[in-house]
Amino acid sequence: MLTGKRILLVIGGGIAAFKALDLIRRLREQGATVTPVLTPAAEQFVTPLSVSALAASKVYRDLFDLTDEAEMGHIELSRAADLVVVAPATANLMGRMAAGMADDLATTLLMATDKPVMIVPAMNVRMWEHPATQRNLATLRADGIRVVGPDQGPMACGEFGPGRLAEVPEIVAAIDAFFADGPLKGRHILVTSGPTHEPIDPVRYIANRSSGAQGTAIAAALRDLGARVSFVTGPADVPPPEGVDVIRVQTAREMLEAVRAALPADAAVMAAAVADWRVANASGAKMKKDGTGRAPALEFAENPDILRTVCEAPDRPALVVGFAAETGDAQGDVVAHATAKRARKGCDWILANDVSPATGIMGGSENAVTLIYAEGAESWPRLTKTETARRLAARIADALT
């Protein structure tokens, strides 16, 4: 799929830099040409010789190398590729990119390029969660830079959480998806998925029963049609699809912030099962039984309405698709409730389904939906969630093209 594609690979400093060697190997196995650029920090983790041997290419390192500038100036180098990939993208490198700095070869290339850029962040979990990193990430996304990962797991430093470099197959899949031809190529689509968890105390939470399977399938189907997908997911049971920009959240308020940061988009598919309420008096410590037999009094506050917020946003997507999971006694009741919800929220389409326990849809592998729009409604047969997602993705492609 990557035969003849030219990748300019910027390798940032960090222990994850060693994975760039495997990335080079896999990209070349798919037929891509890889031109590597090493930052000074990256040379502390991988050697120019190993990178050059795997890439079968010269390694570029110094902005002021007279030979390199004579043979291929940094401006030409920045524009001779089909895609620029930064892996790993450290907190420092992301910050310099967001600030528009050009003080070494890597950042100068990134400033001078007129080609698409994809970054693969990797850093300590605290650095990833730091407000400065999140501000820089939002800036880079707003600039149109594609983001892959990071994954969640154990760190080399001994901590656990988000910040691990995405696995190499996931990076390759994202690059494959970028080059894939399809009716949605060049389109940016936002997808929300999974439940939200609203804390009661550090141990307990309230949530909706959602596996995230349908939202995940939708994101994958849109990716397969060539879209760039921003996938905002709560703590789902199923892993996110490869080749999409994954933004993990816990609460409804975090999801709203992530959705706002992901806009603008050509379309939004709001498949997440967002908790309608949160605990207003959540405890900072685990609530204990006091021996009286009385349960603690929980006070609830309404969560933000993410779907309506997107519909009313100044940069509203051209197509907004909502979901209505109902438990009516008959499909007609479900459709009536969903039709009213579509009008109330202001979305273009809404998919209604009956999630009563007897249907087996909530948490299951199949779905039966009715697509409701301004002109009417159409009921789809019971399909696998993957087939439902593909049918919806095809309809979205028709609407946007």
By annotation, the residues acting in catalysis are: 157
DSSP 192-261: EESB-EEESSSS-EEE----SHHHHHHHHHHHHTT-EEEEEE-S-SSPPPTTSEEEE-SSHHHHHHHHHH
- Could you give the CA distance from residue 181 to residue 179 in angstroms, rounded to a whole number? 6
In terms of Cα–Cα distance, which of 156, 85, 77 is closest to 123?
156
300 appears as a binding residue in the annotation: no
19 appears as a binding residue in the annotation: no
Residue 276 is given by DSSP the state: S
Q: Quick count: other Cβ atoms within 10 Å of Cβ 214?
A: 32
Angle at 391 between CA 388 and CA 393, to 5 degrees: 105
185 appears as a binding residue in the annotation: no
- The upper half-sphere exposure of residue 84, i.e. CA atoms within 13 Å in the direction of its Cβ, equals 22
288 appears as a binding residue in the annotation: no
341 appears as a binding residue in the annotation: yes
201 appears as a binding residue in the annotation: no
Angle at 211 between CA 395 and CA 259, to 5 degrees: 60
Q: List Cβ neighbours of 79 (8 Å cut-off, separation of 6 or more).
A: 112, 113, 114, 115
Structure tokens given for 359 = 């249907």
In terms of Cα–Cα distance, which of 92, 89, 34, 40 is closest to 61?
40
Angle at 237 between CA 233 and CA 240, to 5 degrees: 45
Q: List Cβ neighbours of 170 (8 Å cut-off, separation of 6 or more).
A: 148, 149, 151, 242, 243
286 appears as a binding residue in the annotation: yes
- Scanning the structure block, which residue is given the tokens 């929980």? 298
Query: Contact 67/110 with Cβ under 8 angstroms?
Result: no
Q: Which helix (H) or strand (E) holds 398?
A: helix 385-400
**Cα torsion through 386, 390, 392, 393, rounded to 10:** 130
In terms of Cα–Cα distance, which of 316, 311, 337, 312 is closest to 326?
337
Name the binding residues: 276, 286, 304-307, 323, 341, 345
Name the binding residues for CTP: 276, 286, 304-307, 323, 341, 345
